[in-house]
Copies of this chain bind each other. A is one copy, B any other.
């Protein structure tokens, strides 16, 4: 049965592919699994029908044969466990790849979300201009550690895995801030992810949604 995911009817990132549905689209493209998309408006995301699938009123969700999942890490792991191509066969390497998935959504995405909150939810507060450099420095601290860890390796741990997929999509949230460019090996790492044919197919699919919404 073809899985159905949800995505923004009108993406707030204007087609840059920074919404979290990209992670699931990319994973499904990597493993060659077709999928359907149900677009959801901001109003519908807060309604009972969507909240029954996603208690926090967000996208994406994943529905397949009576199974309903949310949280991109869990959805990508579910896909990676059922199809070859996103997790190594070796048990220890597989466990390490899953470490990087959790690292992406906790250790790295945490401070990045703080920046987004400062820029949007606290945009008009008196302290924001003065506070932003501190928020950015906390991101730099993490990026520096990640940069040291990757060094000149192609991927986080051997071959491309679901850990890289999650990390690249989390780091892509920083593209507008310019912070990524301060760490050339991280910028190159993200570029390698974006150059993968599966990423490009996923990107094009979400961009088509954005273009269609602009025409309305």
Contact = CB atoms under 8 A, between A and B. Distances in A.
Contacts of A121: 134, 138
Interface in A130-162: 130-131, 134, 138, 142, 145-146, 148-149
B109 A106 contact: yes
One complex includes copies of this chain to the number of 2
Contact of A145 (B57, B109, B114): B57
B102 A74 contact: yes
Interface of A is mostly: helix
A191 interface: no
A70 interface: yes
B110 A109 contact: yes
Interface residues of A, number: 46
A148 to B, nearest CB: 7
B125 A131 contact: yes
A131 to B, nearest CB: 6
A66 interface: yes
A114 B110 CA distance: 8
A136 to B, nearest CB: 13
Interface string A86-113: 0000001001101101110111011001
A106 B106 contact: yes
Contacts of A42: none
Interface in A40-57: 55-57
A79 to B, nearest CB: 10
Interface of A: 55-58, 66-75, 77-78, 92, 95-96, 98-99, 101-103, 105-107, 109-110, 113-114, 117, 121-122, 125-127, 130-131, 134, 138, 142, 145-146, 148-149
